[in-house]
Amino acid sequence: MFRKRPPPEEERRVRANDREYNEKFQYASNCIMTSKYNIITFLPVNLFEQFQEVANTYFLFLLILQLIPQISSLSWFTTIVPLVLVLSITAVKDATDDYFRHKSDNQVNNRQSQVLISGILQKEKWMNVRVGDIIKLENNQFVAADLLLLSSSEPHGLCYIETAELDGETNMKVRQSLSVTSELGDPNNLAQFDGEVVCEPPNNKLDRFCGTLYWKDCKYPLSNQNMLLRGCVLRNTESCYGLVIFAGPDTKLMQNSGCTKFKRTSIDRLMNTLVLWIFGFLVCMGVILAIGNAVWEKEVGSLFQSFLPWDPPVDNFLFSAFLSFWSYVIILNTVVPISLYVSVEVIRLGHSYFINWDRRMFCSHSNTAAEARTTTLNEELGQVEYIFSDKTGTLTQNIMTFNKCSINGHAYGEVIDILGSQQKRSQPLDFSAWNPLADRDFCFYDQSLLEAVMVGEPAVHEFFRVLSLCHTVMSEEKSEGELLYKAQSPDEGALVMAARNFGFVFRSRTPGTVTTQELGKEVTYTLLAILDFNNIRKRMSVIVRNPVGRIRLYCKGADTVLFERLHSCNQELTNITSDHLNEYAVDGLRTLAVAYRDLSEEQWEEWAEHYRGADKSTDCREDRLAAAYEEIEQDMMLLGATAIEDKLQEGVPETIAILSLANIKIWVLTGDKQETAVNIGYSCKMLTEDMTEIFIVNGHTVQSVREELRKARERMLESARTRDEGKEAEAQGWGGACALGNGFGGGGAANCMPDEAKCPPPQAPPSSLLESINGEFALIISGHSLAHALEADMEREFLETACACRAVICCRVTPLQKALVVELVKRRKKAVTLAIGDGANDVSMIKTAHIGVGISGQEGIQAVLSSDYSFSQFRFLQRLLLVHGRWSYLRMCRFLCYFFYKNFAFTMVHFWFGFFCGFSAQTVYDQYFITLYNIVYTSLPVLAMGIFDQDVPEQRSLEYPKLYEPGQLNLLFNKREFFICIAQGIYTSVVLFFIPYGVLSHATQSNGVPLADYQTFAVTTATALVIVVSVQIALDTGYWTAINHFFIWGSLGTYFTILFAMHSSILFNIFPKQFHFLGSAHNTLGQPVVWLTIALATIICIAPVLAFRFLKLDLKPQLSDTVRYTQLVRQKKRKPGGRAGHGVGGAGAAGGSALGRLGRGGSRRSGYAFAHQEGFGELITSGKNMRLSSLALATFASRHSSSWIDSLRKKKHASSSGAQNTLTTEDGSNVSSQTTLVSNSSSVIGPQGTTPWETRQPCNETGLTCSLDDISLNMVRCTEREAGGCSAGTVQETLFVWRGPGSRISGTSSPVPPPIAEETSSGD
Amino acid sequence: MMASSYNAKDENGHHPGSVDSSGPSAVKSKKSDNTDFKQQRLPAWQPILTAGTVLPAFFMIGLIFIPIGIGLFVTSNNIKEFEIDYTGVDMSSPCFNCSQNYSWNSTSACTCSVPFTLDQPFESNVFMYYGLSNFYQNHRRYVKSRDDSQLNGDKSSLQKPSKECEPYQTSDKKPIAPCGAIANSLFNDTLELFYIHPNGSRIAIHLGKTGIAWWTDKHVKFRNPGGNDNNLSVVFQNTSKPVNWRKHVYELDPTDPENNGFINEDFIVWMRTAALPTFRKLYRIIQKKKVNMTPTLPPGNYSLEVTYNYPVRSFDGRKRMILSTISWMGGKNPFLGIAYITVGSACFFLGVVLLIIHHKYGNRNNNTDIPN
């Protein structure tokens, strides 16, 4: 652990199979350690850490002070008991945390891997893997370290990996070994391999690697294409061998994960500051009292020496004052309440348990409950201003489903609606009846499409034919009818899957053929060309010759691109399809247009010539190819369009809408492509059609990024200005001259600025103008632009621009960039940030943000492990923040206010008493009272409040997201509130001292004995104090559960019980020295005067507070007060009333407007987003990755009837014979290995994942109706509610009403066609 | 205030389709119990400060406090109290000489006689107090300078007093009993009261010296070592008297064994330290005469005979003698009555002000439309 760090590496030299050589460099081993302590270091390190806390050192210091008898004004136990309590509780917590870290470390370190040691494969633990070892990986194994791929079981040294843990992308990536090493093949050859790799030192760049392999006197350049990084999973590859280059902490995964930081909440920091201030205050008090002591000792004390001589070491008044200072520091230490920290921990723990227990944050599919993994951050959840969300797996389920389509102007799939068609929805079409190859998980609900296929509509057939032919998917067929698609992008997979279910089954491909089964009939097309996808083209085409010999080009691509290349006769169809596309786009579906073109043999030949020429050209090959593609993709006939749903997690749009109503800004940071990200932005309603403008920053150079950002800002200012002008024109009240000036000078932007600056409201000063825009803007920035934008000189600009936008999407970002963005916002905006993600690529972001949330129940658990909170659905975030976070914050604030108040009220009495006891540091109270006051008498009621208090019920906080605002603005506990509490505390202490002083100094008991003795005074003051603070907590408690009652009354009861017990003769007889307050309680509390005094003091303390609170509530109520009041009123007169009709009327109107809005959307054309890289087509045509297609073909052929075989043979003859060669070389073992392949990769490729619709359905419905129901409760007082039924009609209405007022989110719910709405409500 | 309990409806209850309820559930569901406690919907009372609750509260406080205050004030005014300062600071004061000549070591007692006149009769029991001013009985070092164990009759503490008693722990290598600064500074003036009959004769008024301490102090807290019946001089033989004392602790009241040694009531009263630097302590009780209807102290001339032992001039202290009658609420205490009347009126006034403010400016929007 304390090993000396070697100097930073310049370069790394690794020699394969040579441990001795590599040992020299002392590279890190593959052992990972995230834990902080071990058994021996725990106590010292932990104590050291704990005493770094200001408060703890302070108490330790006090403890030492108390050991000096001349100073000690309190018994030793008043400080040490709480301190030990605090330290041990924290230590236990730290120890448990670290134990779990040890456990997870061990689990990872002890994973098995196969290492090639002296020519033999041996099992080794991960932690024992050394740099330079060659290890063998098998399918679906995690890569143990950063490896150089040497060879693979697949042809050409290819191997497939899934990098989801690393960058969040779930599509597979190809890695290829160097051809020299890929030939090494078996372990024996590899054991002889002694190449040396020289490469860059460890770094965190995931997409870059640069090194050289020296072997047999040759140099081979290495790139990222040859690397397998730790955290990846090997897929679809039987096995591969790799050379360990970076291990353990040096791996790119670990380098990216950043260091573990102890997170503190802002309240924590504020608390520490306040504790320091209080400490300063304490010193001031001490100094004042010490000066008083000096004066007193000089004037009075020295004369009084005949009765009370100075203590031996004291020989003058100055020294006495010095000692008195320290004595007072001890006495007044209770202003820094020692139980504060313990209580805060307890409250947070309680809140964490509530989060863990919350059934509404429980996901029944994955059987996971929400979990508060860190218990110290809860109240920060109530202050979040920025949410940084990952996309894949967080917002989306990463499941693509074929949702709707438009074929030949006819839209299919429309029946699917949120509300309208529960009946139809619960019964997806059954394809298996007529199509044995149909996939059971595929769901489609529109019967008419299936009928159209059955009837044999040519356009529909052609449509699905395109889908089954025009793609780069690979298929595997293990056994008959068990098809498995390996798609590069889930979109393509979904399309091919759809075609398969509708009877156009893609079965296999060879480099030159594609075999499909069309409505049960085997057809083999000759694949003439693949016109591959790229970002500029945004489309892909295939040219095939069908068995009859006709040549056709099939194309699918972004509608914008495709529509330009259609034949002119398509105009009408294009318009209709366009309309459909617009509808789909509004729904946030990913759309593709589909077209074909018939080619004559001559056309083909001619073009093929061109194409070959372009293909062979060496210079500008890309451009020339593109030009060639362009040439043939003309005059196409439109077939229709597809709409794929990138399935969002449940309730994502609603959650985002509610969160943004709560003034939380949501940024999406994704490693995914821009198009995909934008698409998701639309489908989860972050981006909407009615946004003023969406800025896309995509520059590659510093200048261009700067320019783009500047332009965006200008546009925003401009629009803000025009909007403001409009506003001013409407509201003339604000200084006519000014408004006029603006109105006229509106043309010149520069002229306008000074005018605005002079204007009082409503215009903000120009500097903060950007802040105030709050308009409908969105910013989309890509990773490479972000790299520039995050540079020190531009980050301000970037942040200003981004924060003025309502939605920010960063795409193609690396994990570290995610963290940097979070860090930037955290640092610059001083706002509370929350990062939510599910993959290892989100870990650094999760760790950086104030609060990290991990989505659990998905594949990886790394995000969860490093997160502070975890749950399985994005939508739970609203509950976490708006309900739990809000409550936590509220409770914590109330708790702190009260806590500081009660301690000041308690302690400052000593200060006033100092003026009457010769500044001698005499306490007012009994020492036991001082010890127990914080621990026993007043702790539980305030703890109960801190744990259970609620200002408004949970539904209300979801219903009025604005209730979240006080937390963001830090209103409930800040320095101002603190001073108010302190002032109140001091006021109370004054009353508590001077009222008894005034009364008791002359009073006598009814038997003539004076009441002015010290003990009576102490008991009276203490009792008054306990009663006053109890009344105060009663006022502060807003939610009196039985527990609160029990604790408040119980505390009072305990006080009196302990008081009488301590003052009883029994205890005195046992310890006469300790309990000298014998009989005081009895003698004091039996006197009516004492009770009159207590009552008087209580009223004087409480009445002003009551009056003040009432005024505040009456004149300036907070939203929460109003909500609370409304709740009360509603409960009082819980009658349906005649307003239901009105509500429905309003609902209708609002609904109308909402529908109108939907209609006018559609300016946006969704971009065609293949989520895969280009060049895959090339891989297919080259045949490199073909392996089992022919096998499948053969098995398939052998089992079928003669007619099938005949046709197949025909085709085989037509196609090349290359396929058959590969067929024969396959052996049996390969087949068995494929079985595992099939079963394992199903989760990746199968579009329907593991959760079939049926199970998901009910939960979804319930969640929806319930959330709406809550709203309906408030918005519409309809009679149905009284009956207890939650009818669809009500929901319908409320949906509209809900949408009505929240104009900003009016687009959040899916469109509901009016007929359906009417139908359901009337049917009810 | 209004009680209300809110019942969240069981939102996710047992939907027939959900996995955990319908399935054979081989996997144990981690879903937590659906209890009110865990789901944070315990029935609760949610009080709100409304005009309907706060304003009446203020008026109520006013209406309760003012009568109490008046009652207290009247009672307090009916109590008769007479106070006389006999410190002897002035030249004219009869005790001037004694106060000047004083030293702790002087053997001969200095006496002085202070005449005074009562204008009104003192009915019922009359309590006689001595009062000291500027005497810091509440000083930390003073307060702790005692050994309760010794005073409770613990023999080992008698021989070895607590360190807290320093510097009055031992004297001449013998333990001091009672030790400590409090005991050492025991008030040792003797006050006697004479009624000067109009015919010139001086009638000594009987001053009861018992019943002036707390019962618990007298019977539990303070005990002579080895029980109260023993011969005290034997018990205390190895101890030394406090430095400032003229006599041993067992000579405090030789006439009454129940009032001697540690259980001497004058001593006990002194040991109950005062909270404030100006205080009074009960000295004697003048029982009302049972036989005839004449007041306990009829109006007329009196003489206070002081055996002046206690020096206070050094620290600018004052000594007083107070005579007072008593009511149900104790002695004269005008502060409490006035405070009650003041607070009551203030609350009433505040109530009125709040009422006006509420009516004029109060938020009428407290209805159901909530801005969102």
Residue B359 pLDDT > 60, yes or no? yes
Orientation angle between helical segments A886-914 and A317-331, nearest 10 degrees? 150
Which range, A238-252, A864-878, A913-927, B6-20, is most confident? A913-927
Confidence band for A910, pLDDT divided at 50, 70 and 90: very high
Residue A415 pLDDT > 80, yes or no? no
DSSP 3-state of A503? coil
pLDDT at residue A905, rounded to an integer: 94
Confidence band for A1303, pLDDT divided at 50, 70 and 90: very low
Quote the minimal CA–CA distance from B254 to chain A in Å: 24
Average pLDDT estimate for A248-277: 78
**Among B17, B152, B362, whose Cβ lies nearest the Cβ of A1072?**
B152
Give A1112 or A727, the one with higher predicted confidence: A1112
C-alpha to C-alpha distance for A1062 and A1054, rounded to whole angstroms: 12
Give A1285 or A347, the one with higher predicted confidence: A347
C-alpha to C-alpha distance for A1317 and A1262, rounded to whole angstroms: 18
Q: What is the pLDDT of residues A340-393, one digit of tens each?
A: 877 888 899 899 999 999 988 888 887 888 888 888 888 899 999 999 998 877
Burial of B85 (0-12, 13-18, 19+ CB in 10 A): middle
Nearest-5° angle of CA A398, CA A404, CA A409?
A: 150
Q: What is the pLDDT of residues A387-403, one digit of tens each?
A: 999 887 788 887 788 88
Closest CA to A151 of A120, A115, A176, A122: A176
- Please, which residues 40-69 of chain B have a Cβ atom closer than 8 Å to chain A? 40-51, 54, 57-58, 61, 65, 68
Q: What is the pLDDT of residues A999-1046, one digit of tens each?
A: 998 888 888 888 889 999 999 999 999 999 999 999 999 899 999 999
Task: Output phi, psi for A1243, to 5 deg.
Answer: -70, -25
What is the overall mean pLDDT for chain A? 76
Quote the minimal CA–CA distance from B98 to chain A in Å: 18
- A448 CB contacts (<8 Å, ≥6 apart)? A412
Closest CA to A267 of A346, A344, A339, A338: A344
pLDDT at residue A557, rounded to an integer: 87
C-alpha to C-alpha distance for B260 and A1225, rounded to whole angstroms: 122
C-alpha distance across the termini of chain A, in Å: 71
Q: What is the pLDDT of residues A857-879, one digit of tens each?
A: 655 566 787 788 988 888 899 99
C-alpha to C-alpha distance for A920 and A563, rounded to whole angstroms: 93
C-alpha to C-alpha distance for A611 and A605, rounded to whole angstroms: 10
A1107·B11 Cβ contact <8 A: no
- A76 CB contacts (<8 Å, ≥6 apart)? A63, A66, A67
Range list of β-strands (E), A1121-1265: none
- CA nearest to A357 within chain B: B32
Closest CA to A1017 of A1077, A936, A971: A1077
Least confident of A17-31, A592-606, A1270-1284: A1270-1284
Report the DSSP pairing between strands A832-837 and A384-389: parallel
Give, for A198, the enclosing helix (H) or strand (E): strand A196-199
**Among A920, A1011, A1128, whose Cβ lies nearest the Cβ of B2?**
A1128
Q: In chain A, which residues have their Cβ closer than 8 Å to the Cβ of B343?
A: 1096, 1099-1100, 1103
Closest CA to B226 of B262, B187, B251: B262
Q: Which two tokens stand for residue A5?
A: 């760090």
- Percentages helix, strand, coil for chain B (3-state, rounded to 5) are 30, 20, 50
Orientation angle between helical segments A702-730 and A795-804, nearest 10 degrees? 40
**Cβ(A945)–Cβ(A894) below 8 Å:** yes
Mutate to test the interface with A, among B7, B27, B31, B179 (most CBs of A within 10 A): B31
Average pLDDT estimate for A629-642: 88
Please give the distance of CA A1051 from its chain centroid, rounded to a whole number. 41
pLDDT at residue A775, rounded to an integer: 59
pLDDT at residue A306, rounded to an integer: 80
C-alpha to C-alpha distance for A632 and A614, rounded to whole angstroms: 13
* % of residues, chain A, pLDDT over 90: 16
Task: Output phi, psi for A545, to 5 deg.
Answer: -110, 125
* % of residues, chain A, pLDDT over 70: 77
Torsion angle in degrees (nearest 10) through CA of A881, A884, A890, A894: -150
Q: Amino acid letter at A461?
A: H
Residue A171 pLDDT > 80, yes or no? no
Place of tokens 């196969």: A114
Least confident of A580-589, A946-955, A1202-1211: A1202-1211
A369·B152 Cβ contact <8 A: no
C-alpha to C-alpha distance for A385 and A829, rounded to whole angstroms: 10
**CB-CB neighbours of A799 under 10 Å:** 19
- A866 CB contacts (<8 Å, ≥6 apart)? A257, A260, A843, A846, A847, A852, A854
Q: What is the pLDDT of residues A471-521, one digit of tens each?
A: 888 777 767 667 778 777 778 888 888 888 888 888 888 878 888 888 888
Counting one residue from A and one from B, how many pairs have CB atoms under 8 Å apart?
356
How much is the CA Rg of chain B, to the nearest whole Å?
33
Residue of A167, A250, A358, A390 with catalytic role: A390
Quote the minimal CA–CA distance from B199 to chain A in Å: 32
How much is the CA Rg of chain A, to the nearest whole Å?
38
Quote the minimal CA–CA distance from B71 to chain A in Å: 12
**Among A962, A1012, A1089, whose Cβ lies nearest the Cβ of B274?**
A1012
The verdict on whether A390 is a catalytic residue reads yes
Residue A764 pLDDT > 70, yes or no? no
| B302 CB within 8 Å of a chain A CB | no
DSSP 3-state of A214? strand
- Please, which residues 158-187 of chain B have a Cβ atom closer than 8 Å to chain A? 162, 166-167, 181, 184-185
**Cβ(A643)–Cβ(A403) below 8 Å:** yes
- CA nearest to B32 within chain A: A357
Give A326 or A186, the one with higher predicted confidence: A326
pLDDT at residue A1165, rounded to an integer: 44
* % of residues, chain B, pLDDT over 70: 86
Report the DSSP pairing between strands A158-162 and A172-176: antiparallel
Residue A768 pLDDT > 50, yes or no? no
Residue A1289 pLDDT > 70, yes or no? no
**Cβ(A242)–Cβ(A135) below 8 Å:** yes
C-alpha to C-alpha distance for A662 and A382, rounded to whole angstroms: 11
Give A774 or A636, the one with higher predicted confidence: A636
Q: Which two tokens stand for residue B349?
A: 């006034």
**DSSP readout, A538-572?**
-EEEEEEE-TT--EEEEEEE-HHHHHTTB-GGGHH
A1014·B333 Cβ contact <8 A: no
Orientation angle between helical segments A339-357 and A939-948, nearest 10 degrees? 30
**CB-CB neighbours of A437 under 10 Å:** 20
A897 to A163, A269, A274, A937: CA distances (angstroms): 49, 15, 12, 17
Residue B156 pLDDT > 70, yes or no? yes
Q: What is the pLDDT of residues A117-146, one digit of tens each?
A: 877 888 888 888 888 888 888 888 888 888
C-alpha to C-alpha distance for A654 and A684, rounded to whole angstroms: 8
Report the DSSP pairing between strands A590-599 and A239-246: unpaired
DSSP 3-state of A16? coil
Report the DSSP pairing between strands A851-855 and A869-871: parallel
Closest CA to A1230 of A1192, A1199, A1198, A1202: A1192
| Residue A1156, CB-side half-sphere exposure with 13 Å CA sphere | 8
3-state SS string over A665-695?
EEEEECCCCHHHHHHHHHHCCCCCCCCCEEE
Give A7 or B111, the one with higher predicted confidence: B111
pLDDT at residue A1135, rounded to an integer: 47
Residue A942 pLDDT > 90, yes or no? yes
pLDDT at residue A1204, rounded to an integer: 41
| B228 CB within 8 Å of a chain A CB | no
| Residue A155, CB-side half-sphere exposure with 13 Å CA sphere | 12
Helices (H), A564-617: 571-586, 601-616
Mutate to test the interface with B, among A1013, A1019, A1118 (most CBs of B within 10 A): A1013
pLDDT at residue A895, rounded to an integer: 94
Least confident of A80-84, A220-224, A465-469, A1046-1050: A80-84
Give, for A1021, the enclosing helix (H) or strand (E): helix A1014-1036
C-alpha to C-alpha distance for A254 and A281, rounded to whole angstroms: 46
**DSSP readout, A1274-1296?**
HH---HHHHHT---HHHHHHHHH
Average pLDDT estimate for A212-220: 85
Average pLDDT estimate for B245-270: 88
A1106·B49 Cβ contact <8 A: yes
Residue A811 pLDDT > 50, yes or no? yes
Least confident of A907-916, B1-10, B217-226, B360-369: B1-10
pLDDT at residue A259, rounded to an integer: 52
C-alpha to C-alpha distance for B103 and B100, rounded to whole angstroms: 9
Report the DSSP pairing between strands A112-117 and A120-125: antiparallel
pLDDT at residue A1241, rounded to an integer: 34
pLDDT at residue A452, rounded to an integer: 85
Q: What is the pLDDT of residues A189-201, one digit of tens each?
A: 888 888 888 888 8
pLDDT at residue A258, rounded to an integer: 54
A304·B15 Cβ contact <8 A: no
